[in-house]
Amino acid sequence: MTPATEVRPPLLGALRRAGLSRRSVGRSVVIYVSFAVFAAWVVLPLWFTVMSSISQPAEMVARPPHWIPLRPTLENFEAVIGASSRGNNTSDQNARILLSLSWSLIIGVSVAVLNLLIGGLAAYGYSRFRFPGSRSGYVFLLVARVVPAIAIITPFFIAFRVTGLINTSFALIFSYLLFTLPLSIWLLRSYFDALSPEIEEAAMVDGASRLRILWTIVAPLAAPGLIATGLLVFLEAWSEFFYANVLTSQMTVPPLLASYNSLQTFSWNTLAAATVLSLLPPVLIAVVFQRYVVSGLSHGALK
């Protein structure tokens, strides 16, 4: 009699022939399912907002819902941009959206540039020099990063009110700078630590000053890290809501978009169009500098 052969399911047999076990297959399934759920969590709200911005108001209450508008329109964007250009529309939010976008861009760029200048010098100092209190000062910077924003909003508000800086761009730039500098110093220091100091030492032997070395040698080598840090800081300043809402009168985009909900005649389509307009600048900047961001962050991660 021939010995009894083990009967295996065809799929399991194929997986074992390919060198895969049930555990590895189960782990792969969990990973892919988790990724699909996360992608849906991120993409579906964005898709709904974009489709709402080009939909008629009647399609918002259609049953079943229209995932793709049957009659796409740009009237919602025309209402927002037209009101901003004329400045005499009944909707104050629509009339101020382009001005708020401009202020958000100015404040975000200013905060990013100041972070690269101040944070870059500080990070280079922490990376290349050891001085009394350097370690404790660096730890203090990292601890300051986790302080809740609401914990120090009252001193900020009183100080800016006394100095007459309430509802000004300087109030937001100064506030954002204090919260983003620890992040910039931490990221840039890890990048400077990965750069070999031998080139700098050779330049110093040739008579170059430390500032000249930093500007002509270190900065070009650290360009991916600088761009990645500047972009992260810009995105944080662009999307900040709490301080912009307390210290200014809807100067930037986030508090202005939130005020749409206070209108007596609320239009979701108009809000969606304004939201899409507010997403364009950071998305375009991220796409343009994507290569530098990936290389800069991966370099810091692999250090």
Domain ranges for the chain: 10-53, 83-302
C-alpha–C-alpha distance, residues 223 and 114, integer Å: 16
pLDDT of res. 23 = 67
Digit-coded pLDDT (tens) for 22-47: 667 677 788 888 888 888 888 888 88
Residue environment code for 237-274, b if the CB has 16+ CB neighbours within 10 A, otherwise e? bbebeebbbbbbebbbbbbbbeebeeeeeebbbbbbbb
The pLDDT value given to residue 88? 46
**Most distant CA atoms of the chain, gap in Å:** 100
Amino acid at 34: S
CA angle 86, 90, 92 (to 5 degrees): 80
Render pLDDT for 221-248 as a digit per residue (tens, 0 to 9). Answer: 888 889 889 998 999 999 999 999 999 9
pLDDT of residue 260: 79
Counting every residue written for the chain, the total comes to 303
CA gap 89, 80 in Å, rounded: 9
Q: What is the pLDDT of residue 262?
A: 64
Which pLDDT belongs to residue 302? Answer: 46
Could you please state the CATH topology (level 3) that the domain comprising 83-302 is classified under: MetI-like fold (1.10.3720)
For residues 234 and 247, give the distance between their C-alpha atoms in angstroms, rounded to a whole number.
19
Kindly give the parts of the chain with pLDDT less than 50.
1-2, 4-7, 15, 88-90, 300-303
Q: Please report, to the nearest 10 degrees, the dihedral formed by the alpha carbons of residues 44, 50, 54, 55 taken in order.
A: 30
Structure tokens at 33: 């399912």
- What does the pLDDT read at residue 90? 43
For the record, the structure tokens of 192 come out as 């400077």
Rg from Cα positions in the chain: 26
